Structure 1
């Protein structure tokens, strides 16, 4: 699975610009599903028939955080805004890559104090010396992502966009492993999660599932002086109890716990004080959808170098294989 994770994380797809990811994923799964389509908002929806007509929706988002060009000055320096949750202090000296392959470095204006740092004090330098030169290659509204490669540290993986390409990789592996499904199952690769859980809302409305599970990363509490959280790398995937966007449905939570215990899989319980996942939109669709979240612990979320434990990834896949073989009632 590492090669797949590498391919996904090294691909680009900010919120609203997921087309290349959509085609990449579609090509790799379309022979293993009964139906695949792209809806009007851009969500990639794959369907596999199961033993029961009860419908299960599994969702992972394709989009990643990034930057958008807002202005090019006379000297060729690019001003920008953020797409999703990007912190300005993480950008100093960072390299970013545009969809045409151009790479730029982020610099800052002179500051009296680092406390003054904000997006309007930052710029991208692509090595050209005039507005005319830059404008031949870059336009207002173009987007850029962190320019970082996937790194395999053995037990740990480091890359940009593990949030949530790791979830996409798990759904793709689940599809291609040809597991016997207990329920009709929709595998949904959503768009625009990082800017408001938008793709999950529209796809869930169209599918109208009986039960849903989002697969996404979650923060840990195992680094020096981190906030107190009962989630660590290497201790197994987490069953979400609550975050800012959703309180996991009791039936879904109990089904998840029963699967983990039956399969003797390591797991953690997660209460996240901030942040949310696609489940936050899915569970409010139509008259409501019982929803939960399988969370993959990750360090340094929304930075150029996110980190996950490969054992947690493998155990997440084992969990999902067992989960989809349980009839939802």
Structure 2
């Protein structure tokens, strides 16, 4: 898992530009599936055929948050906008990598009140001295991400884009371990989740699943003076009850809880009072589908140093594998 997650985390793939990461995933799973394909929105869809006509869709988003170049000034400083949820307070001083492999540091105009910091006051410094020099390296519309950094701790992983490359790692591991499934399994590495669940919308419409399970990260309440939340790092994958995009079907939630209890898998129950996952799109597709979420507790979400637990990932793989024989 260490090497797999490092490769996924370090790969480039801001929303709308997921080709590098989806090609990496494709190379890792194609020998374990009956069919692997991409749709027009770039979703990577891997299929394991089963014995029944029922379809279960598993989704983890391959995209990550990022920046997009909007303007280059006369001194070569690059203005940018966000791709997905970026806080200016967490960007200042960080290193970014643009799609042209140019790197830069995020700085800001002089301000005397930090509460007035905004993306409009920030820029990327790539070391250029003039607009012309910068334009030789960067174009308007270029995208970028946090500079790749990944570290393996004794019990944790730290790196960029673990939201949701950790979920992708869970799906990849399950694909390799699941054999002779009862139902048709669709493993979807979705695109553009960070900008509105867009890949999940089109993929779920095309697949028309009977049940869908998203695997994504969730916040925690275990850091000093954190927002109250009954989820902690290392205490097992969280089984979602609700977030801003879905009220999880009780049947799916109860099924996940029973599977975890019956098989000695540690788990937590998650009530997320903000945000959403691909399940929010899946359960509303066409006439609707049963849907739920296996969540990976994560600290420092949407920063370049997201932190997740090794045990939580391993137990999420175990729990997901137990859902493939769902009794329809």
CA contact (8 A) 1:298 1:306 kept: yes
Match of 2:155 in 1: 155
CA contact (8 A) 2:84 2:194 kept: yes
- Cα deviation, 1:90-148, whole Å, max 9, x if unaligned, reads 11110000122111001110112101100111000000101111111100110110013
- Where do 5+ consecutive residues of structure 1 fail to align? none
Q: After TM superposition, which residue ranges in structure 1, 4 or more long, deviate above 6 angstroms?
A: none
Alpha-carbon deviation of 1:52?
Answer: 2.3
Alignment of 1:328 with 2:297, yes or no, is no
Match of 1:230 in 2: 230
Match of 2:175 in 1: 175
Partners of 1:221 and 1:74 in 2: how far apart? 45
Partners of 1:309 and 1:159 in 2: how far apart? 12
Match of 2:240 in 1: 240
Secondary structure (helix, strand or coil) at the match of 2:24 reads helix
Partners of 1:240 and 1:120 in 2: how far apart? 36
Alignment of 1:41 with 2:41, yes or no, is yes
CA contact (8 A) 2:85 2:194 kept: yes
- Cα deviation, 1:248-283, whole Å, max 9, x if unaligned, reads 011111111111111111000000000100001111
CA contact (8 A) 1:52 1:327 kept: no
Partners of 1:237 and 1:9 in 2: how far apart? 19
Residues 2-17 of structure 1 mapped to structure 2, 5 A cutoff: 2-17=2-17
CA contact (8 A) 1:243 1:273 kept: yes
Match of 1:189 in 2: 189
- Cα deviation, 1:53-103, whole Å, max 9, x if unaligned, reads 210000000000000000000100000000000000111110000122111
Partners of 1:71 and 1:99 in 2: how far apart? 16
CA contact (8 A) 1:148 1:305 kept: no
Partners of 2:49 and 2:277 in 1: how far apart? 26
Alpha-carbon deviation of 1:178?
Answer: 3.5
Alpha-carbon deviation of 1:183?
Answer: 1.1
Match of 2:29 in 1: 29
TM-score (norm 1): 0.98
Alpha-carbon deviation of 1:306?
Answer: 0.3
Partners of 1:168 and 1:51 in 2: how far apart? 25
Alignment of 1:277 with 2:277, yes or no, is yes
CA contact (8 A) 1:239 1:295 kept: yes
Match of 1:287 in 2: 287
Partners of 1:308 and 1:138 in 2: how far apart? 33
Partners of 2:247 and 2:276 in 1: how far apart? 10
Number of equivalent positions: 328
Residues 213-224 of structure 1 mapped to structure 2, 5 A cutoff: 213-224=213-224
Partners of 1:200 and 1:72 in 2: how far apart? 34
Secondary structure (helix, strand or coil) at the match of 1:52 reads coil
Partners of 1:139 and 1:100 in 2: how far apart? 9
Secondary structure (helix, strand or coil) at the match of 1:294 reads strand
Residues 243-258 of structure 1 mapped to structure 2, 5 A cutoff: 243-258=243-258
CA contact (8 A) 2:26 2:44 kept: yes
Alignment of 1:130 with 2:108, yes or no, is no
- Cα deviation, 1:206-252, whole Å, max 9, x if unaligned, reads 00000000000000000000000000001000000000000001111
Match of 2:208 in 1: 208
Alpha-carbon deviation of 1:323?
Answer: 1.7
Alpha-carbon deviation of 1:19?
Answer: 0.6
TM-score (norm 2): 0.99
Partners of 2:168 and 2:209 in 1: how far apart? 19
Alignment of 1:116 with 2:116, yes or no, is yes
Q: Considering only aligned residues, what root-mean-square deviation do their CA atoms show, in Å?
A: 0.8
